[in-house]
A = this chain, B = another copy of it.
Amino acid sequence: MNIIESLNWRYATKRMTGKKLPAKDLQTILDAIRLSASSYGLQPYHVIIIEDEAVKKQLQSMAYGQAQIVESSHVLVFTAWSNVNESKIDEYLQAYSDTSGMPVEKLIAFGLKDRMMQAIVSLSPQQQFSWAAKQAYIALGTGLIAAASLQIDATPMEGFIPAQVDELLGLKEKNLGSVVILALGYRDLENDMYQKAPKHRWSAEKLFTKI
């Protein structure tokens, strides 16, 4: 399937069969998420991969009882950095230096640290979290397409109580906050009444303006 076929094939699956993803396919989805673009390449997020059934059940109770959480193979909880401080930027510069072979001093002389400090660290903590969450949404979009390209269903979910999920997963201590969930699995052809619903999107005329 090409990307358009994949996007047309997918939908926000409400009921799943519980069937497990092959390890190889899960790996491909995670690889795609890891390779996602982000501003400065900072990837200011962390993804919790839940396969444990008891944890899924707890998560479900914090997500208005949505069935696909316990019927999924794996649930990915996308979390964003609660704030982005100078030490995070330094850690990134060191990691970038390790990958690129370019000394940290050179990256700093090049203005990279200054730019990141000004663009991100100067924001309020709330703005930083909001900015980090947006980067996580790029990764979410990537994960969605990666799953669809393998004909694996993926349901993005914002309907949960973040404070409770943060507590369940011990996110606060890790300087993280939950932003969006992605349930991975296989559509339940017998019980998902949404599978045949026509896909609604705004018309191109409504969504785009050409200049």
Interface residues of A (CB under 8 A from B): 2-4, 7-8, 10, 12, 28, 30-37, 39, 41, 43, 45-52, 55, 95-96, 99-101, 119, 130, 133-135, 137-142, 144-146, 149, 156, 158-159, 169, 179-180, 197-202, 204, 206-211
User: Which of B43, B144, B149 touches A37 (beta carbons < 8 Å)?
Assistant: B144
Q: Is B37 a contact partner of A158 (Cβ separation < 8 A)?
A: no
List 19 interface pairs A-B (beta carbons < 8 Å), by A numbering.
A3-B28, A3-B32, A3-B145, A12-B37, A34-B208, A37-B141, A39-B156, A46-B206, A46-B209, A48-B211, A55-B211, A100-B200, A134-B134, A134-B137, A134-B180, A137-B137, A138-B140, A142-B144, A145-B145
Q: How far is the CB of A41 from chain B (nearest CB, A)?
A: 6
Nearest residue, chain B, Cβ from A45: B207
Nearest residue, chain B, Cβ from A41: B200
Nearest residue, chain B, Cβ from A180: B134
Kindly report how many copies of this chain are found in the complex they form together.
Answer: 2
User: Which of B10, B41, B207 touches A34 (beta carbons < 8 Å)?
Assistant: B207
Given contacts A95-B200, A140-B141, contact A4 B208 (CB under 8 A): no
Given contacts A10-B37, A35-B8, contact A95 B144 (CB under 8 A): no
Q: Is B200 a contact partner of A96 (Cβ separation < 8 A)?
A: yes
**Chain B CB within 10 A, most for which of A119, A142, A199:** A142
Q: Across the interface, which residues of B come within 8 angstroms of A35, CB to CB?
A: 4, 7-8, 199, 201
Q: Across the interface, which residues of B come within 8 angstroms of A138, CB to CB?
A: 137-138, 140-141, 144, 156
Q: Across the interface, which residues of B come within 8 angstroms of A48, CB to CB?
A: 208-209, 211
User: Which of B10, B130, B197 touches A100 (beta carbons < 8 Å)?
Assistant: B197
Q: Across the interface, which residues of B come within 8 angstroms of A207, CB to CB?
A: 33-34, 43, 45-47
Q: Is A34 a contact partner of B2 (Cβ separation < 8 A)?
A: no
Q: Is B208 a contact partner of A46 (Cβ separation < 8 A)?
A: yes
Given contacts A30-B204, A134-B134, could you give 14 more A-B pairs where the C-beta distance is less than 8 Å?
A4-B32, A4-B35, A34-B204, A34-B208, A41-B199, A46-B208, A48-B211, A49-B209, A51-B211, A55-B211, A100-B198, A134-B137, A140-B141, A142-B145
